[in-house]
């Protein structure tokens, strides 16, 4: 179910808009505004609107009458300082809005981030698109043996084929029955003129969780970074990480200075506990230090060693 | 899948707790604490904890050193005043926590209320219970002809039977295949020792939206009333209204004075627009007033007439 | 302490910006962007940035691929419908940012609205401007005799003069001593080269609550309307109402259709309790109804009569 | 203005309450419930109510039917895990409410934490207490020379005396004039029967920012820890740190396991940026590493060296 001609036309019309404004603009983000950036097999992300840029952070941190910016180097220093010391409010001064199409089980994970504004396509009001997420073969992972909520090796061969068949058939069958109950096809046509359809708010319960939904999602830069820090992380579920990676790239286009500070201090950085600091201090001084005398749990020790690339010390 | 013996025992143990506290208590709510109050076919609501009572609202509104209450009549007058004039902060001073089991498509509607704290049972980490919501016959409504997101007449006879069969069979089949993919049954037993199971975070996508989930949900009294005002309303979807009605009753047991004010001003009350006021004023004075000269849209006119039980004036 | 030449220049530079954007714009709001709109004796409001317009509400309510708008009349009908039925999320899709200068005692009232983003000028970091709010004579009201938190008649003659003298002298003296303690004048010049100054975070405690502060304040349209509904109301303190009225006008320029619906349903509308509805119903039918048989408290009765302009029935 | 006999009696009555509850209790917190814990010269903190304990975090993380706890060691491991991996929602399941008396300039800093519920004593409605914060001599710090928003050396001798005199006299004078304008003393007595008083909502503007106010403040454990992490930190203003330290102690009494994890991972821990990690890695391996080849700014380098007690490397 690719974009309809009508949808393409509507998107095109938005892209062709050219308005004059006294507001600040983010030229690199403007370039991809409204564009459909594909995610997973049938999903996408589109940037619909935004407010502010790097200079807006500086401007509000200084409560300035004008742009509040001095030179790029000073501004960059201030933004890094704010990021390092967990100042939050200046980053709330930029806002962005996305149009996102995503599988329902991912939408359920996503919505746990409450500090955002959401308008979801209503399945009480309309019929959902006939589209389901089916993992590609390389993403068909077995349950991890060591991590209760993670993935292990890829499932291959016959079993992989069976799994994909089950997912595909069940989604198709339940969607067909959804149409039967509605007495209406996804394209709006009636199935049996002599019958009434079940209420849409009821019929939807027959759909599987890999059915696609869509929403408008708007948040400020601070909360977007909180979202991305968790969801672009290697521990996040692959399917949401696909979306997070695309959004990370929109942040780079929108507020490049903030993006750099974010990558350095949050995404690429690490935290060390009070006990962990004692371990690192000993190691720097060349004093003997191993798991046994570290006062850390095995898990903590290994996470710490992993953070500082001391793989040979993992126990 | 009724409560297991283990679950019953755990609930019983909580109910048998008897602690001494200097905090205020709500005796009628204590009586039903931890109790399983059934909702729909397999769901439930349990009150797990609470903080404050009617006197806490009065106490904080007065920023008092002591209980802050005078006599029941004065306190009641103050609470009514606060409710009537949309004072919000004193009602935020009471907090309640529920354990709720509910179908996923209702959980998705519920979670749109963001000002609450939620911990949901994790299907990345655990296997979901083998339980699906199937509407009772009297709730099997057709799509409303007049309201795009409402219900019309009940579906009956053969069609009703067919719909229920479809829902039942699809839920059962997709759940069985969920177990197949996990290579594990809902009771934890392995299906085929020679195989790995698909990661739980993936397998769950095959479940239908009427599968039950559960969560701990905590909110303050103000936000609970905002939730109930919308969800205990006759326009709310029946399935969420069942839960809202149970919760309304817990509010009555918890903060009876606030409950009365809430029923009078919010649930039983109505709003009249500036234009609507002009209509009502004319009617009170006995001046001629009908739809044509009202400046209201047809929909607004009918809603207004309906509010004041003037059914014969509906156009 | 009017705007400095430097500040005027910075504002002018912002106003001279002319960028091209694919985003929607609000032409009437663009006209006044960055402009200093005076409030009280030394305060002001400036619109710094905004996101979205009336069509953005329609677009997100419809989760549309394009602009989502049909014709003005349909869009207007949808916006009115959303407002009437308390739909909240579509109105959260528009965002606005103000730069505001206001007396501290008003800032303290303002900040109680928590769902906004704020960056305040830091008196830990900088010296506050030498400006204090002094009420104009017609706003020098006596305490209300009937309403514990309201104003009564204007204070006149000698007493008025005395009050204004006290306010003026105390603000001037405490500010001078603030400078003395800082060992620095408001213009940054040092007072006594041989002395250290007290830390700014301490010295500020000597200032009176009518000293002006300033902040960047950003919120979405829904929360802005919640703010305006309370603060543009006749029961709000005069000094905050001055700001609310200016902001109300910016809403009109920004989202004129939403503004009309807001004025009709919220600002100009009224609420009637369940008991109040019974009274109105009787009155419409011409049945005898007075305070004694109304089941309302005296206060409720009077507020209801007042709402519907039945002044002669007030008891 | 110490506690009145009436206030002491009201507090005593609360402390004498002994109710039976099925809810969990925190015995060490119960012991100090309602108690006045002094802060600064006239302020205090009192714990008024709470909900949940360490087991509630475990219970909701497990979405358990019963208490959800296993043995203390397992529970402690889970809580540490949740803290280390920034899980937030389980910590939101505990709630606490304080009654706090504090100077207005500190209240203004405090209120910037928005995710809390607040009812402040209304100076529109009542007369504020005649109490002002005056720093003790050892807290009379000069402005820091190196840090624009910090404190330097203590101010001593004659200048210290002068500063304290100014603060004391200005607070006393402005309060007296506040009474004059109100035509009412702080104890409620009228000054001149022939005159009206200025509206309280206006007269309050004459008070200085070290005047004490008070409020009820309620928040969940997660947001309380966010508050304490910033405000119990050595960079926080001394006057708010006094309150934070007292609250930190109430957390220890309330949820001791969470307290330990919080002290280890947040308060005592540190963050290392991506670039900082490279530096630490080199140092552990004994490779040459100094500021020049570190790619860090001077400020970043020094903060990093300071974190790991490498004072001799500070440049």
Q: Among residues A46, A200, A204, A231, which one is catalytic? A: A231
A266 has catalytic annotation: no
Whether residue D18 and residue B13 make contact (CB cut-off 8 A), yes or no, is no
Nearest residue in D to C171, CA atom: D206
The tokens for C201 are: 């975070």
Within D191-235, where are the H helices?
200-203, 221-231
Residue A147, CB-side half-sphere exposure with 13 Å CA sphere: 15
Contact of A1 with chain C, judged by CB distance below 8 Å, is answered with no
Closest CA to A29 of A194, A249, A277: A249
**CB burial string D59-70: b at 16+ within 10 A, e below:** bbbbbbbbbbbe
- Among the partner-chain residues C9, C14, C93, the one whose CB lies closest to the CB of A216 is C93
- Among the partner-chain residues D77, D80, D272, the one whose CB lies closest to the CB of A269 is D272
- Return contacts of A174-180, CB within 8 angstroms, 24+ apart: A174/A206, A174/A207, A174/A208, A174/B170, A174/B174, A174/B208, A175/A130, A175/A132, A175/A207, A175/A211, A177/A206, A177/B166, A177/B170, A178/A128, A178/A203, A178/A204, A178/A206, A178/A207, A180/B162, A180/B166
Taking the CA of residue B57 and the nearest CA in chain D, the distance in Å comes to: 10
Position D69 pLDDT exceeds 90 = no
C-alpha C283/C-alpha C289 separation (Å) is 7
Nearest residue in D to A287, CA atom: D284
Which residues on chain C are in Cβ contact (under 8 Å) with A117? Answer: 89, 92-93, 220
Give the residue numbers of D marked as catalytic. Answer: 231
CB-CB contact of A311 with A302 (8 Å)? no
| Range list of β-strands (E), A85-237 | 95-103, 117-120, 141-143, 151-154, 212-220
CB-CB contact of D91 with D84 (8 Å)? no
Q: What is the DSSP letter of B55?
A: H
Neighbours of D138 (CB within 10 A): 10
Burial label, C241 (beta-carbon count in 10 A; 0-12, 13-18, 19+): middle
The tokens for A139 are: 């993403």
The tokens for B45 are: 């609501």
pLDDT at C147: 80
Whether residue C84 and residue B276 make contact (CB cut-off 8 A), yes or no, is no
Whether residue D205 and residue C209 make contact (CB cut-off 8 A), yes or no, is yes
CB-CB contact of D273 with D300 (8 Å)? yes
Per cent of chain A over pLDDT 70 is 100
- Model confidence pLDDT, tens digit, residues C248-307: 999 999 999 999 999 999 999 999 999 999 999 999 999 988 999 999 999 999 999 999
Taking the CA of residue D171 and the nearest CA in chain B, the distance in Å comes to: 24
Within chain B, where are the H helices?
5-16, 27-31, 54-61, 72-84, 104-110, 157-182, 200-203, 221-231, 238-254, 256-262, 274-285, 298-307
Give bridge partners of residue D216 from the DSSP assignment.
Answer: D99, D119
Give me chain D's average pLDDT, please: 95
What tens-digit pLDDT sequence spans chain B (315 residues)? 689 999 999 999 999 999 999 999 999 999 999 999 999 999 999 999 999 999 999 999 999 988 888 787 889 999 999 999 999 999 999 999 999 999 999 999 999 999 999 999 999 999 999 999 999 999 999 998 888 878 999 999 999 999 999 999 999 999 999 999 999 999 989 999 999 999 999 999 999 999 999 999 999 999 999 999 999 998 899 999 999 999 999 999 999 999 999 999 999 999 999 999 999 999 999 998 999 999 999 999 999 999 999 999 999
- Model confidence pLDDT, tens digit, residues C163-205: 999 999 999 999 999 999 999 999 989 999 999 999 999 999 9
Position D1 pLDDT exceeds 70 = no
Q: What is the DSSP letter of B47?
A: E
Contact of B101 with chain D, judged by CB distance below 8 Å, is answered with no
Question: Rounded to whole angstroms, what are the CA distances from B49 to A314, B65, B107, B118, D25?
Answer: 43, 25, 21, 14, 11
Position D253 pLDDT exceeds 80 = yes
Instruction: Say which residues have a Cβ less than 8 Å from residue D285's Cβ, sequence separation at least 6.
Output: none
SS3 (DSSP) at B217: strand
- Model confidence pLDDT, tens digit, residues C218-233: 999 999 999 999 999 9
Neighbours of A63 (CB within 10 A): 19
Which residues on chain C are in Cβ contact (under 8 Å) with D167? Answer: 181, 205-206
Closest CA to D94 of D218, D220, D217: D220
Distance from the Cα of residue B45 to its chain's centroid: 10
Which residues on chain C are in Cβ contact (under 8 Å) with A121? Answer: 63
Subunits next to B (3 or more Cβ pairs <8 Å) are A, C, D
Does the predicted model carry a pTM greater than 0.95?
yes
Q: Which residue has the tokens 């039976």?
A: D20
Which residues on chain C are in Cβ contact (under 8 Å) with A21? Answer: 18-21, 23, 25, 30
Nearest residue in B to A200, CA atom: B143
C-alpha B120/C-alpha B114 separation (Å) is 14
C-alpha B167/C-alpha C134 separation (Å) is 71
Contact of A28 with chain C, judged by CB distance below 8 Å, is answered with no
Q: At what angle do helices B72-84 and C298-307 cross, to 10 degrees?
A: 20
The tokens for A88 are: 């939050």
- Among the partner-chain residues A270, A274, A283, the one whose CB lies closest to the CB of D268 is A274
Contact of A298 with chain D, judged by CB distance below 8 Å, is answered with no
- Model confidence pLDDT, tens digit, residues A90-133: 999 999 999 999 999 999 999 999 999 999 999 999 999 999 99
């Amino acid at each position: 179910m690719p974009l309809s001609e009508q949808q393409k036309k509507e998107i095109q019309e938005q892209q062709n808009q050219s308005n004059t404004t006294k507001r600040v603009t983010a030229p690199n983000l403007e370039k991809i505004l409204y564009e459909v950036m594909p995610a997973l097999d049938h999903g996408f992300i589109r940037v619909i609107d935004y407010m502010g840029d790097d200079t807006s952070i500086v401007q509000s941190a200084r409560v300035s009458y004008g742009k509040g910016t001095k030179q790029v180097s000073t501004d960059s220093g201030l933004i890094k300082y704010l990021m390092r010391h967990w100042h939050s409010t200046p980053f709330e001064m930029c806002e962005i809005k996305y149009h996102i199409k995503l599988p329902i089980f991912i939408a359920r994970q996503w919505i746990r981030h409450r500090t955002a504004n959401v308008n979801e396509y209503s399945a009480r009001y309309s019929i959902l698109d006939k589209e389901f997420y089916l993992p590609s073969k390389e993403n068909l992972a077995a349950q991890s043996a060591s991590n209760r909520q993670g993935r292990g090796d890829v499932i291959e061969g016959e079993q992989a084929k069976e799994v994909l068949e089950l997912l595909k058939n069940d989604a198709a069958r339940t969607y067909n029955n959804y149409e039967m109950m509605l007495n209406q096809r996804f394209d709006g046509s009636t199935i049996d003129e002599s019958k009434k359809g079940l209420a849409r708010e009821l019929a939807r319960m027959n759909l599987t969780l890999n059915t696609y939904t869509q929403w408008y999602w708007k948040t400020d830069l601070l909360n977007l970074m909180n979202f991305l820090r968790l969801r672009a992380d290697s521990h996040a579920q692959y399917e949401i990480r696909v979306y997070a990676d695309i959004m990370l790239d929109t942040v780079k286009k929108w507020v490049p200075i903030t993006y750099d500070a974010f990558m350095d201090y949050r995404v690429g950085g690490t935290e060390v506990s009070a006990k962990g600091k004692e371990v690192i201090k000993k190691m720097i001084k060349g004093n003997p230090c191993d798991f046994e005398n570290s006062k850390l749990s095995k898990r903590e020790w290994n996470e710490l060693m992993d953070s500082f690339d001391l793989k040979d010390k993992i126990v």
